[in-house]
Structure 1
Amino acid sequence: MAQQAYLTETDDGGSGPERRRDRLRRLVLRFLDGWRGDRRIWRRGLVLAVIALALALVMLLHSRIPNRVGNLGSLTETFLPWLGIVIPVLLVLALVRRSATALIAVVLPTAVWLNLFGGLLFDKSAGGGDLMVATHNVNADNPDPSGTAREVAASGADVLALEELKASAVPVYERSLAPTYRYHAVQGTVGLWSKYPISAVKPVNIRLGWTRAMRATVATPEGAVAVYVAHMPSVRVKMNAGFTASQRDQSADALGEAISDERLPRVVLLGDLNGTMNDRSLNAVTAQMRSTQGAVGNGFGFSWPASFPMARIDQIMVKGVEPESSWTLPRTDSDHLPVAARVKVTTTATGS
């Protein structure tokens, strides 16, 4: 009986897995046979190859794209990671066209994208840290400020920054956060809540005519930390004007100057910068601080829009403080996702 069963199995072409492997092998060989002897595989797909090379150049030389026309450079840099979506499309088209030239060309943008963003595909969180911070643009039109406050407080953050605070909603946030945070300060439309004492609170002039940024000293158990909270002006993409961001850019320059003049060696910036770390227009800030997401983040950490996050415009940045981990928090009733990070204060130089 055993011998008969064996003969039946081999007569059918082998076991199930063996038959599937054989079927796949035949499909691959049939596909390759279509390429063999076809000299046109090098002449076909030249347009696809040109597109692939252009894509690689855009990603590689994005900083050279001028901003003079509609801030095209900043617009490209804001959504730079999403250019990677074009790569698999080009790969499929190259296979369909049976173009060796296009297939080879697709290797270049793939290598450039992986060099720029490959590190973000992995969780670089180290754990640990002695201070947890969080920031959230709560949205002025938030229908449930009390619920949003409770949700972000539940994250366990020691220091929490909120942006886009509507004057009428501030008392609601104060009452809802009081059980968790003993200390807080509000300046204009931004606020800071802390489990540790706050002092030296003052608005930061970011050239808007009203207050959307502040600075405070937080007395953590490991030492004093200067905490900045900022909400940069919004940017717009208009058909007739392109990426309108001049007001945001001026505010970023002013914020960069304020941080540069900071006397405390340990600085944390929390807020909605309305721009990504790739955007050259934020250089006044990004050139002197580290992004926690880029250093120790888990994935891309896109924070806006909350319904389908496409860009990381809510930032936690540090100077003189060591980032340990960074992540996004669960969605609230805002159009932004909250973001959080753990940092190590004790590894930096002492100072007050």
Structure 2
Amino acid sequence: MAFHARVPDFLGLGLLLDNAAPWMGLAVPALLLLAVASRSRTSLVVLLIPVFTWLVIFGPAIVPLSWSAPRTGAATLTLSSQNIKAGTGGAAQSALELAEDGSDVIALQELDAGSAQRVSTALEDVYPHHFVVGTVGVWSKYPLTNSQPLELGLGWKRALSTQVDAASGSLRLYVIHAASARPNDHVDRDEMLRQLAAVVQADPEENMMAVGDFNATSTDRAFKKISSILDEPNQDDGLLGFTWPRSPFPMMRLDHVLVRGLEVTSNTNVEAGPSDHLAVQTVVNLPGQ
């Protein structure tokens, strides 16, 4: 648990250990049973080592945000993001359900042929501003300016940046659908995350959000490149906020919201549409409020 990121990525072992790191704590109950069966006080004392290690590494991330979240300001922005799963035909359904949840900005990933247009048609009355690049798109109640596609070394574009100009303040928004990651096949994803980190670091904008399907967990060594620059808020009700797979139960958090210069008052997962990913929904105080 403590040194998983230092294990060489030989035959995909590093990737597997990185993503399994939080689940290693499940070994503690089994070790406890063995310690009790052995009737050894020394075993019980030694058992404190993995318990303490897990709490030090993952404990801060499972503390409920609601315990320390700043007070909601006079002007806020609610952003929702989801990988809608290509081929389900559910992009518009996801968008409408996220709109009903009170979203001001909706970011979608894994858009397939025709789905972006269906989303725009479904949302046009309330979300007249949108920008779509390849398989990613953003729909907003507020004007979007300085919108740009991002290649991030992939050879085709599945990321974007835009400025969300609300009446009470603006922020820079990055939306990404990182390349897939599998053992011995995650070079493209690693490069996209590396280049995203470089772009974000060079961006002088003080108020920023980066959202989407990063195809990386918070403990993935490739994700550290971007999470060392931007902050990921805890979940409202605590725990690690796993988003995939939606059924039978989430086991990994591949979908993230990262911020800089913004106060996060709420951060949670919500169900929307037929996707195999849960959506992430975050509320921030607009700058200057």
TM-score in terms of structure 2 length: 0.91
1:84 aligns with 2:30: no
Tell me the equivalent position of 1:263: 204
Q: Is the 8 A contact 2:160 2:176 kept in 1?
A: yes
- 1:94 aligns with 35
Q: Deviation of residue 347 (structure 1)? A: 5.2
Q: Which residue of 1 aligns with 2:240?
A: 300
Match of 1:46 in 2: none
Report the CA distance between 1:222 and its aligned residue.
2.8
What are the Cα deviations for residues 139-189 of structure 1, in whole angstroms up to 9, with x where unaligned? 111243332222121121111110000122222111122233121111111
Task: Tell me: CA distance 1:325–1:92, structure 2 relative to 1, closer, same or farther (3 Å).
Answer: same
Cα distance, 1:331 vs. partner?
A: 4.6
Give the count of matched residue pairs.
Answer: 283
Which residue pairs with 2:64 in the alignment?
123
Moved over 3 A (4+): 119-122
* Structure with more contact order per residue of length (Cα contacts < 8 Å, sep ≥ 6): 2
* Alignment of 1:338 onto 2:279: yes
Match of 2:173 among 206, 215, 227: 227
Is the CA contact (8 Å cut-off) linking 2:91 and 2:111 kept in structure 1?
no
Q: Deviations over 1:53-82 (max 9, x none)?
A: xxxxxx122232223x13433322222111
Alignment of 1:161-200 (within 5 A): 161-200=107-146
Moved more, 304-313 or 219-228: 219-228
Q: Percent identity?
A: 34
Cα pair 1:306 1:331 within 8 Å, conserved: no
Cα 1:109–1:343 shift into 2, 3 Å = same
1:194-245 CA-partner distances (Å, limit 9, x unpaired): 11111111101211121100011110223221111100001124xxx4xx31
Alignment partner, residue 224 of structure 2: 283
| Separation of aligned partners in 1, 2:125 and 2:233 | 28
TM-score w.r.t. structure 1 length? 0.75
Q: Which position in structure 2 is the counterpart of 1:63?
A: 5
* Structure 1: gaps of 5 or more residues: 1-58
1:112 and 2:53 are equivalent in the alignment: yes
Provide the rounded CA distance (Å) in 2 between the counterparts of 1:111 and 1:140: 42
Once the two structures are TM-superposed, the CA of residue 290 in structure 1 deviates from its matched residue by 0.4
Instruction: After TM superposition, give the deviation of residue 136 of structure 1 in Å.
Output: 0.4
Q: CA deviation at 1:297?
A: 6.4
Structure number having the greater helix percentage? 1
In structure 2, relative to structure 1, the CA distance for the partners of 1:172 and 1:252 (3 Å cut) is: same
User: Shift of the alpha carbon at 1:86?
Assistant: 0.8
**Structure 2 contact 64–234 (Cα < 8 Å) conserved:** no
What's the secondary structure of 2:131's corresponding residue? strand
* Residues 140 and 164, structure 1, Cα contact 8 Å, conserved in 2: yes
Q: Distance in 1 between matches of 2:144 and 2:111?
A: 19
* Correspondence for 1:311 among 244, 248, 252: 252
Q: Aligned pair 1:236/2:182, yes or no?
A: yes
Report deviation, 1:329. 0.5
List gaps (5 residues or longer) in structure 2.
none
The offset of 1:320, in angstroms, is 1.8
| Structure whose alpha-carbon radius of gyration is higher | 1
* Alignment partner, residue 254 of structure 1: 195
Say whether the 8 Å CA contact 2:233–2:267 is kept in structure 1. yes
Q: Is the 8 A contact 1:146 1:176 kept in 2?
A: yes
Partner of 2:261: 320
Match of 1:142 in 2: 88
Secondary structure of 1:281's counterpart equals coil
